[in-house]
Amino acid sequence: MDKPLILVTNDDGITAPGIRTLIRLMKEIGEVVVVAPDSPQSGMGHAITIDNTLYSKKVADGEYSCSGTPADCVKLGLQELLGRKPDICVSGINHGSNASINVIYSGTMSAAIEAGIEGIPAIGFSLCDYGWEADFGPSEPFVKQIVEEALAHGIPPGVVLNVNIPKTDNGAIPKGIRVCRQARANWREKFDKRQSPQGKDYYWLTGTFELLDQGTDTDEHALSEGYISVVPTQFDLTAHHAMHQLNSWNLK
């Protein structure tokens, strides 16, 4: 059987330790093509570049950098750079959590979702450690296992996987993997207001994460107990449960 073709991308940029780990692992499974941003794109959500030009550069054998967003990288990879449809797209390993509400802001997941929209099985991986020196070692066998299972079973159409890996101390191994739902949460914003040397006011966006969900079947709960969370994630945003209520409104 031919080796599977694996498209690898991320949002921290092509030189980030997380994507270098993912590339190395994926080369043990299949043929790898990398299309990733040439600079960090965290917090880009599902942005695409429509009013500006895109540049792409071959930076190594099978590796392309792109001036655009993570979603741009996937679009450009599929249409221009890969030559054939990949068997799977993996994004990450992100430096920082994309669990619960973070999925909405995540460039890592936007790349995976873009591939999902194009009908390609896709997985986003994130380690709950923002540090550039984060230790990806303990998660490596799990990352490989999840990709191999996805290749073996397929991922249901319209679904992409959001995988988050707990930060562990002293190289400890995560306790295992749990299939979860997205926890209800938000960010309590705090704007840090400052003044420029020229006397102009400006803000930095900061905030603290606020978990609003006590369920034991959530990604946040699994991570807090030392497990890897796998949330099946969809891009059909229809809230079917709300249809009935809306139909009772006076809309004609």
Please state the residue numbers annotated as binding site for a divalent metal cation. Answer: 11-12, 42, 94
- What minimum distance in Å lies between the beta carbon of 47 and a second copy? 4
- What minimum distance in Å lies between the beta carbon of 238 and a second copy? 4
| Choice between 1 and 152, CB closer to a second copy | 152
Do 120 and 110 form a contact (C-beta atoms < 8 A)? no
Closest C-alpha to 126, from 86, 166, 186: 166
Count how many Cα atoms sit within 13 Å of the Cα of residue 181 in the half-sphere of its side chain.
8
Residue matched to tokens 């990733």: 36
Do 100 and 66 form a contact (C-beta atoms < 8 A)? no
- What minimum distance in Å lies between the beta carbon of 213 and a second copy? 10
Do 148 and 161 form a contact (C-beta atoms < 8 A)? no
Output the known binding site: 11-12, 42, 94
| Choice between 48 and 211, CB closer to a second copy | 48
Structure tokens at 7: 């498209």
- What minimum distance in Å lies between the beta carbon of 61 and a second copy? 19
Q: Which amino acid belongs to residue 247?
A: N
- What minimum distance in Å lies between the beta carbon of 3 and a second copy? 21
Which residues have a Cβ under 8 Å from the Cβ of 52 and sit 6 or more positions away?
Answer: none
Question: What phi, psi does 240 have (nearest 5°)?
Answer: -60, -35
| Choice between 27 and 184, CB closer to a second copy | 184
| Choice between 214 and 245, CB closer to a second copy | 245
Three-state DSSP at 45 gives: coil
| Choice between 61 and 204, CB closer to a second copy | 204
